[in-house]
Structure 1
Amino acid sequence: MTGASTGIGAASARELARRGFHVFAGVRRDRDADALRAPGIEPVILDITQPGHIAELAARVGSRAGTLRALVNNAGISVNAPVEALPLEEWRRLFEVNLFGHVAVTQALLPDLLRHSGRVVNISSVGGKVAMATFGPYAGTKFALEAVSDALRQEVAPLGMRVVVVEPGGVRTEMGERGIATTSRLAEAMSPQHRGRYGPLVEAIKALTAAGTTGGTSTDTAARVIAKAVTAARPRTRYTVGRDAALLTRLSRMLPDRMLDRLLAATLRPYYPKPTAG
């Protein structure tokens, strides 16, 4: 499992270990490894943008006797910014972590997964189905991950492998808090023109993200859904986590684009900063 330092990843590692799995849990720092280490959980220092780390993981997995049951691609970062205002190097960094890193890990472990009729579980997002304003960068990576998952599912199904996507909505994790901090940093770096065009929108998004972080689904609930995706004998191709994800993915299939735009704008409207008297 990648991205197991905190949040959904850490909770899923513990849930799978509780169910009897031996979990290779990818973390970025030694202190995260120390916090997560437990019976059934073997922390691995893993930056999925580093080919050397991925090669070491593949060797470590291959050297262990037993069946490789599943790869859970959970690592990710959150970046919210208007399309016009986000520097290209930030776009590239986001895609390296949220998409290309997952492809690299999948390519490295796929031979073992194929030998054992395992499965790939890709942690996407409701943002892989619906993109609100300023979610273009993050949702772009998740839309792409959904497409890669669809293609991979069809490619390996005849070989006895399954590919499953999990789409969380708002979940109470540190990722939301980190995302707000990143959004603030990027907003401070915007040009005066960009701030004039998008400043209130960015503030509204930060407030909406904070509300979703505090009122979202628990990581334990998300972990149980991920464990189901790993263990179900006949898993669905997609699982949602949380009522918001279930509702939005359903609406995205039913509503015309402009009607969905109006619904998302109405959802965001209460979070805009109130005008100050003066």
Structure 2
Amino acid sequence: MSKGTRRISPTGRTVVVTGASSGLGREAALHLARIGFRVFAGVRAPADGERLLAESSGDRLYPLRIDVTRSDQIRQAVDEVTGRLGDTGLWGLVNNAGVAQPGPLECLPTAALRRQLETNVIGQVETIQGFLPLLRAGRGRIVNVTSGLGRVALPYLGAYAAAQFAKEAISDSLRRELRPSGVTVSVVQPGAIRTPIWEKLDQAGEEVIDGAPESTVALYRGPFRAFLRDNARQVLRSRTTPARYARTVARALTASRPKTRYPVGPDVRFASLAARLLPDTLIDRNLAARVRPREG
């Protein structure tokens, strides 16, 4: 095995995973505990923590109450982890928590845009700030979870893409700022993976359509609903699994030399390549069918 592919043992190391109540975060928390990490799994409700405990094997998983949009819960979570770890430091922080708010930007309520950015950007930064002293003490690593939409912004997912672009930029700045301290920063970019977030996406999209003025919605209703249907079909066809995502997070936490970015799925690799090589006008033409007026 080459030096670049050697792995660091998870045994005796502690990580925090936010957004572990369901979906990708839940899969990552359970997988990391199975392979030997001590995992503080961030949940928003006690019942979510109880379900995680029932699904986990061994005694390496601990539910951690944390809503990343609430400063008081972030502080309490940091205090709890600090109290349990003492002087040993924290090996990893996986910033997985997030929401996806679809909708034509002209129709999107300001409150929905704020919620998108508060959860996926501001809350993530505040969580990192809270845990950084522990990470510095453990010379650990930060894993920020974005998506393929952190490289190419699709129509009707502008708010979500804005948050992912921001998180990519923050990760780059943070990686460079923290280099002298020995704390590394990696980005994991999952593509289309079948999780409950897609059902929530459809529901959130319909709420945007129902709440906007009819004169405006009439311009978007057909193509937007078709866009949601196309997304659902893409997810159903995807062969990328939550387990593959969880294994990728584990690689970012155990690689002797962690990469700056870990794409998960062929759609993300294609989006990254397109963003680097194709002119904006060509990408726009390829996406034109998604915004063409139609009945719906």
Q: 1:206, 1:19 → 2: CA distance?
A: 36
The Cα offsets for residues 84-115 of structure 1, whole Å up to 9 and x where unpaired, read as 11111111111111110000100000011011
Aligned residues, how many? 273
TM-score normalised by structure 2 residue count: 0.88
Residue of structure 2 in register with 1:229 after alignment: 252
| Secondary structure of residue in 1 paired with 2:218 | helix
Which of 137, 144, 159 lines up with 1:115 in the alignment? 137
Residue of structure 1 in register with 2:9 after alignment: none
TM-score normalised by structure 1 residue count: 0.94
Residue of structure 1 in register with 2:282 after alignment: 259
Residue of structure 2 in register with 1:64 after alignment: 84
Q: 2:180, 2:280 → 1: CA distance?
A: 35
The yes-or-no answer on 1:52 pairing with 2:72 is yes
How do 1:210-229 and structure 2 match up within 5 A? Answer: 210-216=232-238, 217-229=240-252
Residue of structure 1 in register with 2:217 after alignment: 195
Where in structure 2 are there 5+ consecutive unaligned residues? 1-16
Which of 194, 206, 209 lines up with 1:184 in the alignment? 206
The yes-or-no answer on 1:130 pairing with 2:130 is no
Q: 1:31, 1:189 → 2: CA distance?
A: 32
Where in structure 1 are there 5+ consecutive unaligned residues? none
Residue of structure 2 in register with 1:243 after alignment: 266
Residue of structure 1 in register with 2:48 after alignment: 32
Residue of structure 1 in register with 2:39 after alignment: 23
CA RMSD in angstroms, aligned pairs only? 1.6
Q: 1:212, 1:58 → 2: CA distance?
A: 38
Residue of structure 1 in register with 2:5 after alignment: none
Letter aligned with residue 122 of structure 2: F
Q: 2:114, 2:123 → 1: CA distance?
A: 12
Q: Which moved more, 1:92-101 or 1:194-203?
A: 194-203
The yes-or-no answer on 1:140 pairing with 2:156 is no
Structure 1 residue 231: Cα displacement: 1.1
8 A Cα contact 2:222 2:294, kept in partner: no
Residue of structure 1 in register with 2:28 after alignment: 12
| Secondary structure of residue in 2 paired with 1:240 | strand
Q: 1:259, 1:128 → 2: CA distance?
A: 18
Share of identical aligned residues, percent? 38
Q: 2:197, 2:253 → 1: CA distance?
A: 23
